[in-house]
Amino acid sequence: MMNLFKRRKIYVVLTVLSVLLLFGLLTTACSSEKVDDTDPSSSSNNNEVNDMKIKVEPAQSDVGIWYSVWYTYNGDHGNNIQTNIWKNWDIQYKPLLPDGTYGYYDSLDEELINYHLEQISEAGIDFLIFDQTNNIDAEGGMINKRALKVAQCIKAWNDSGKRPIKYCSAIGKIQWEKDGKAIEDEAVLLYNRYLREDFGDAYYMLDGKPLLIVYGDGASDMWNKYLKDGGKSKYTDKFTLRWADNQSTPGYYGWAYDKGTKQNKEVMVVMPGWDNRKGHTPVPRDHGNWYRESWKEVFTAKVKPKILVINSFNEYAENTGVFTALTDLYGDDAPDMYWNMTKEYIKLYREGGYFELNVQK
């Protein structure tokens, strides 16, 4: 009895070992097959690294772009802010001009303005954000004079039956005065100068009122304190008030998103890089990779924003301009690289398609 029991026990053990051996061989075969499948020439994992694309669904967000209205240029005569801001601020860009050459310009030049409007319209951009953040009447009204000229050209552009373009203003006197009253003071000027009937309906509207963007770190808190202390807001109340700062604050309309684009259901901001040359840590363009990552955040947003803002069309002093320009700051990047990317991504955003993740610049 004892010997028979042992034989049966040995038989069972051998049977189990055989099954385990067979299972091991099958597992090895499967593993080998899986390794073969991850070969770079045919791997789905490899595709994720090298060929992955994001499907982009069409979106109907309005697209705005920051626009610098303060360039002065009187040939090579003088080098102060009033006569040649390019030289005075050591701006290391030469933008593309209407005649196909590269050089400097004055923001009062109607031919230049209309050329910009043509480029902006063809790109599918809906409105401009006039950068008046250094104070509307700074430098003896130099900025205001040029902003009004651009507004007049936009009115004429729209009246001609071309694709309509809107504009709004970004103010920033509060960053110097540190008092909410500065917002009301500038709102008075904007309302009386830029919302005149002879400008038609060119001003961009949000929530049924003209959009007014206030730039300045902590500006929202200063405004709320001003109101709490009994400050008047008669003219500010005529606008839809929004904010901009350098803190990458979600829902703000700029300025520098140095921590990357933030998702928000009202507004998202993209920029190619940033360097204000005033002590802030620069955001390198990295041959277009920062800009691509900014747009990727937009394309992958769970909820597309109501408004998409680009910083900027032509702010070359702080190195955020995307419009075609010659510069030695970015190695061998083509002069039109960022403008072509902008047009391509706006088209993709509006029409849908696929955003490639493996593009190397």
Looking at residue 161, what DSSP letter applies? T
Per-residue pLDDT at 278? 87
Strand partners, 310: 65, 270
What backbone torsions phi and psi does residue 264 show, to the nearest 5 degrees?
-160, 140
Per-residue pLDDT at 196? 79
Task: Enumerate the domain spans of the chain.
Answer: 58-356
Per-residue pLDDT at 11? 41
The whole-model pTM stands at 0.85
- With CA atoms as reference, report the closest residue to 171 among 212, 119, 209, 220: 212
Per-residue pLDDT at 229? 98
Per-residue pLDDT at 7? 37
Name the burial class of residue 22, with classes exposed (0-12), middle (13-18) and buried (19+) by CB atoms within 10 angstroms of its CB.
exposed
Contact 298, 52 (CB under 8 A): no
What single-letter amino acid sits at 214?
Answer: V
List per-block mean pLDDT (blocks of 10 residues) for the chain, which spans 361 residues. Answer: 37 40 38 32 32 90 98 89 95 98 98 98 98 96 97 96 97 97 98 86 96 97 98 98 96 96 98 93 96 97 97 97 96 95 98 84 49
- With CA atoms as reference, report the closest residue to 85 among 105, 63, 55, 64: 105
Element (H, E) at 247: none
Per-residue pLDDT at 3? 40
Write out the two tokens for 199.
Answer: 């400008």
Per-residue pLDDT at 355? 97
* Fold that domain 58-356 belongs to in CATH: TIM Barrel (3.20.20)
pLDDT tens column, 86-122 = 999 999 999 999 999 999 999 999 999 999 999 999 9
Calpha distance 235→342 (Å, rounded): 35
Calpha distance 89→323 (Å, rounded): 19
Per-residue pLDDT at 336? 98
User: For the stretch 313-328, what's the b/e string if a residue is b when 16 or more beta carbons lie within 10 angstroms of its beta carbon?
Assistant: bbbbbbbbbbbbbebe
Per-residue pLDDT at 359? 62
